[in-house]
Amino acid sequence: MNIADKYPSRTGNASSVIMRDCPVLHRKHGGSCPLSKEDLSHYEDNGFVVVEDWLSQDTTAELRAETLRLRSDSASVDIEERVTERSGESIRTVYGIHKNSALFARAFSNARFVELSSHILNSDTYIHQSRINYKDGFSGREFFWHSDFETWHVEDGMPEMRCVSILIALDNNSLVNGPILVIPRSQRQFYPCVGTTPKDHFKTSLMGSRLGSPSEDQIAKVAQTYGIVPVVCRKGSIVVFDCNVLHASNNNISPFDRTNVFVVYNSVENRLQAPYCGRSQRPEYLASRR
Ligand code: 6CS
Ligand code: FE
């Protein structure tokens, strides 16, 4: 374990909750932001906020078509960047879409995203990770409870919770197609996880894993305190997520696909260090070190 590790996790034994010691909303005053004051304070309090109809329906349809192209285009997407469901029958995730798609690269460098992320993080930002989560009708599988920061900290050496994810909904996210479930306010605590990180963990973890999930007791406790909110929104909306808020989602047994794109912006003052788990760095398409 790294001595300077403020948020030790997967150190082999169970340990208790650690309070977050940095803000959720890093810029308190001034600056312009495409989110309203109300949206920003909802984000700060709850760890996420939905902004409906962020994209035009034309842009939404264009990006949705690009997700279909990328799932089968082996000229632009490397085999490792494409993660299948455990059954092997459908695509779960494609990573690195800010690198392998000109259309997504353009969408993510849009001034409103750049302003939004630098406002929340109070600095310039860069793209840490991007991905398409397909969650196809009938075959899209669950994501168990986790904080993204826990993985990025332990496996990628991200020092602080100064990172924000933006989800772009390219299909309607409804109650029936496996929407993201969030535990609001959970972003203020860090839940150390048990176990240790095996070598090359990412080769299996991206298909779904419980390493990097808090214990069932911890999840039950925090969910009983704060509740669980299904994040439902129309296609073309965005959801701004704190990197440490606890979330999960169920299998999509409905016939309706649930395609969501994520772009993760990190502060330039929070660049990745050596992974805290002591393993080698994960590939660039999961964790940018440019
Ligand atoms: O390992 C990762 O980077 C991915 N895993 C989780 C559990 N959340 C987000 C991320 O794409
Ligand atoms: Fe996640």
Q: Which atom of ligand 1 is nearest to the CA of 155?
A: 1
The structure tokens listed for 289 are 């070190």
pLDDT of residue 3: 54
The Cα–Cα gap between 29 and 45 comes to: 16
Q: Is the dihedral of CA 29, 271, 248, 99 positive or negative?
A: positive
pLDDT of residue 266: 98
pLDDT of residue 28: 85
pLDDT of residue 155: 98
Span 204-257, pLDDT tens digits: 999 999 999 999 999 999 999 999 999 999 999 999 999 999 999 999 999 999
Yes or no: say if 114 and 33 are a contact pair by the CB < 8 Å rule.
no
Ligand 1 pocket mutation pick from 143, 150, 152, 197 by most atoms within 8 angstroms of CB: 152
| Ligand number, closest to the Cα atom of 150 | 1
From start to end of 152-286, where are the E strands?
163-169, 180-182, 189-190, 229-230, 238-242, 247-249, 260-267
Q: What percent of the chain has pLDDT over 90?
A: 94
Span 81-138, pLDDT tens digits: 999 999 998 999 999 999 999 999 999 999 999 999 999 999 999 999 999 999 999 9
The Cα–Cα gap between 147 and 199 comes to: 21
286 lines ligand 1 (CB under 6 A): yes
288 lines ligand 1 (CB under 6 A): no
147 Cα: distance to centroid of ligand 1 (angstroms) = 9
Yes or no: say if 132 and 93 are a contact pair by the CB < 8 Å rule.
yes
131 lines ligand 1 (CB under 6 A): yes
Q: What percent of the chain has pLDDT over 70?
A: 99
193 lines ligand 1 (CB under 6 A): no
Give the CA distances from residue 27 to residues 118, 120, 138, 190, 201, in Å, rounded to whole numbers and listed in that order: 9, 6, 42, 21, 35
pLDDT of residue 229: 98
Q: Which atom of ligand 1 is nearest to the CA of 205?
A: 1
| Ligand number, closest to the Cα atom of 241 | 2
Q: What's the mean pLDDT when you consider all of the chain? A: 96
16 Cα: distance to centroid of ligand 1 (angstroms) = 23
Confidence of residue 31 (pLDDT cuts 50, 70, 90): confident
Q: Which atom of ligand 1 is nearest to the CA of 156?
A: 3
Span 49-70, pLDDT tens digits: 999 999 999 999 999 999 999 9
**Where is 82: in which H helix or E strand?**
strand 82-84
Give the CA distances from residue 268 to residues 72, 125, 128, 157, 271, in Å, rounded to whole numbers and listed in that order: 33, 5, 10, 14, 6
Q: Which atom of ligand 1 is nearest to the CA of 152?
A: 3
Yes or no: say if 93 and 129 are a contact pair by the CB < 8 Å rule.
no
pLDDT of residue 13: 80
157 Cα: distance to centroid of ligand 1 (angstroms) = 13
The Cα–Cα gap between 63 and 1 comes to: 41
| Ligand number, closest to the Cα atom of 206 | 1
Yes or no: say if 183 and 177 are a contact pair by the CB < 8 Å rule.
no
Q: Is the dihedral of CA 13, 206, 288, 28 positive or negative?
A: negative
4 Cα: distance to centroid of ligand 2 (angstroms) = 25
